[in-house]
Structure 1
């Protein structure tokens, strides 16, 4: 069953990538005009560079000045998807779409200036080394972490496969510091998860795609082959919270569901010229032909973006399936990434993409055929806190807990972060019901149990309102 993807945690083996649709090649513009502009403006850039280096009271490295100029050029375009990436950022960006990463396999978060282990991934190097939830990372390879950002800490933890990492951690349950060694390993990253579901004798496949990465098409083939072999007669495709990815990956998935020679999208360049993207037999994968005739229901929400919208746009315009959920995000541009001589990359929006009916969904999104609101506990960002709150306090962590308590059915009269009497009673009742030390305060034990209860709620398919609507619709399709 799909777990909620609305996490605020930094995953050491996975870097957040935002909303994106990426071409597989790089395009080039008008080299002559570009060269003319650069030759005219370079003296001005050189002049500013020299003045800053010679006269600025605050010294700054020359490479940083160059990177600042590059970022400025990207920023002035006014497109949030066009940006300059430093060498480190470019590496992280590429890794974010790869099928595996090198790391220790643990989720961490920053809480009150401290870096806390949320949970180690099962079977990961972090779990093998003995890291536990709520362990506070104090030092990495003997260096204290004071003043570092979460991204800085992640950089220190990552490294080459097979290399060792020493960590000093503070374990609150023992009230002591521990020295641990962790061996960095390759952490596989799955973008497709699948489950055979059966409702009143009718079998169908549920397949969730978290993004469209390097290995998505292969994972999709394995999942669909398995579902068909197990007797699935329809598919529920879940792209809720899927931010996008590679165009070729979504092309393979869409192509497996559509007849050959079907236009599933159009690319439009800066001159307005349209290029159709046509379904062709896959050179790499031989998908089961049953997929092209199987009933399809697609689940989407406002977090479904870019490459996800290519799929939903094709399904909608070609009447290949039925879309349930909410209007999608609305990103209709495609980015080319070009390597620069300093090791960085310029990511630039070079094309628009249009649906098969030549609709540009940018800023508009793809409408659901049947609008279905999700239960609030599925859309709440799960946070991690180690602070203690009591009646009379006011904090955003308290507002967060109030919302979760209300979602779990407890009577809370306010959700603005003020710890009032009704909140204290709800906290007390929650602690009693879940066998947490009887009290009326919000502490680590309270927040841990609250998170566990919300996780359990989300794992229960009966609570996923949108999925239940999809299940009912699929059953209707199979029995009509």
Structure 2
């Protein structure tokens, strides 16, 4: 077993799959005792019993992978897991700087595979794929009965090859055929712009995760912000689930003196290893980053590597934290490769802040707590179903929550479509100047999603951002 020598931060969905044998009284039971020849002999015995007697036949690798998942699951740690060869490759790709595909976000809703949105400038956008298009066929094969993972796998392929799609377009009621050539889709994790408020220039920089190229993107973005006259830096890691340690180390190091301890690693024996800032080999950061005021925006979705950054800035007095308490993930996973191509991700260390705080399950508290409209924490999704009065569904509850957040009170948010919900729908659609059937149909859900996105994109509604900007203005004014 070979170890990959990097620590990976991130929220990993632990796949808890195990083999469960249930004897129900109506099956055949045997009293044969299988003797074990050592600590792991019983595993071989169980394998022989299952392959030799089970009425449901499984492939050898399925049994082995089930056992591997079970061993990882019994640890009871949601961040320790077994990944198959395909899952491991997919995870690496999620943190990589680019990937090959058509550049479209797809979701599954009520058995339909719906396009959420094509990536700007991607092959899918150029081919004319639109939000709410329903995927019907991929290369001549229907998608009925497939999982989302299987659909994505069929769409992906080598750069330069093409995939033929048939989609149903609800707005026109027609099927559309298109051929899309796969290409490299850059994955950008850093966005930036100058926010000019009351004569002060604040450099805003958003970090969606700490990926392979995040430090390089950070260097380019901050260099541009400084050139444009940024007097302070506002770092937004809200919803950032984490990523690579080397990325957060470089980014933190750009704002701290060389040889500063920005975190500690604690192994199973309790031994501490300091993590120290050092100049990256290929990057040169603007020295102004070490002196200008810094505010970091975080929320409950800020986890792991995001918390390393906020913990370092807070403990070292380098930054002011605004928002809500972070997620609270204080462990580090090490990737260990297996001979079958799979990987075991195992929590091998705790990480501590510079003041040796372990924030696991507690998170990092803010210096200034500011709560948001609940609309900002909603996962906006595509819904292609229709619901009428007297029906009950989670999609109805989702719509009720959004309506309430937008100021149209349906009277309840439990998913039951009653008369008051219908009145809220009518008021909302009338205000949006959209035709309404009185039902929760595709037109309603599209209008609701667009309205919610517009609300969230309006900075005037972002109270956390407003408070962060206000603090920096106060700091820059010297008050």
Please report the TM-score for the alignment, with normalisation by the length of structure 2. Answer: 0.91
Q: CA deviation at 1:391?
A: 2.4
- Alpha-carbon distance between aligned partners in 1 of 2:387 and 2:45, rounded to the nearest angstrom: 56
| Residues 478 and 309 of structure 1: CA distance in aligned 2, closer, same or farther (over 3 Å) | same
- Alpha-carbon distance between aligned partners in 1 of 2:242 and 2:429, rounded to the nearest angstrom: 40
Gaps of 5+ in 1: 1-16, 22-38
Helix, strand or coil at the partner of 2:166: strand
Structure 2 counterpart of 1:206, from 193, 204, 207: 204
1:338 is matched with which residue? Answer: 336
2:97 is matched with which residue? Answer: 99
Deviates more, 1:290-299 or 1:117-126: 117-126
2:11 is matched with which residue? Answer: 19
Q: CA deviation at 1:18?
A: 5.7
Contact 1:303 1:328 survives alignment (8 Å)? yes
1:419 is matched with which residue? Answer: 417
- Alpha-carbon distance between aligned partners in 2 of 1:301 and 1:294, rounded to the nearest angstrom: 23
Within 5 Å, which residues of 2 pair with 1:148-297? 148-297=146-295
Q: CA deviation at 1:111?
A: 1.5
Helix, strand or coil at the partner of 2:306: helix
1:400 is matched with which residue? Answer: 398
- Alpha-carbon distance between aligned partners in 1 of 2:44 and 2:411, rounded to the nearest angstrom: 62
Q: CA deviation at 1:390?
A: 2.4
- Alpha-carbon distance between aligned partners in 2 of 1:90 and 1:433, rounded to the nearest angstrom: 48
Gaps of 5+ in 2: 1-8, 14-36
2:85 is matched with which residue? Answer: 87
- Alpha-carbon distance between aligned partners in 2 of 1:142 and 1:297, rounded to the nearest angstrom: 52
- Alpha-carbon distance between aligned partners in 2 of 1:208 and 1:173, rounded to the nearest angstrom: 35
Within 5 Å, which residues of 2 pair with 1:109-128? 109-128=107-126
2:17 is matched with which residue? Answer: none
Q: CA deviation at 1:177?
A: 2.4
2:5 is matched with which residue? Answer: none
Q: CA deviation at 1:174?
A: 3.0
Deviations 1:158-199, CA, capped at 9 Å, x for gaps: 111111111122222333323221111111011000110111
Helix, strand or coil at the partner of 2:210: coil
| Residues 466 and 370 of structure 1: CA distance in aligned 2, closer, same or farther (over 3 Å) | same
Please report the TM-score for the alignment, with normalisation by the length of structure 1. Answer: 0.90
Q: Which stretches of structure 1, 4 residues or more, deviate above 6 A after TM superposition?
A: none
- Alpha-carbon distance between aligned partners in 1 of 2:260 and 2:125, rounded to the nearest angstrom: 47
Contact 1:263 1:279 survives alignment (8 Å)? yes
1:327 is matched with which residue? Answer: 325
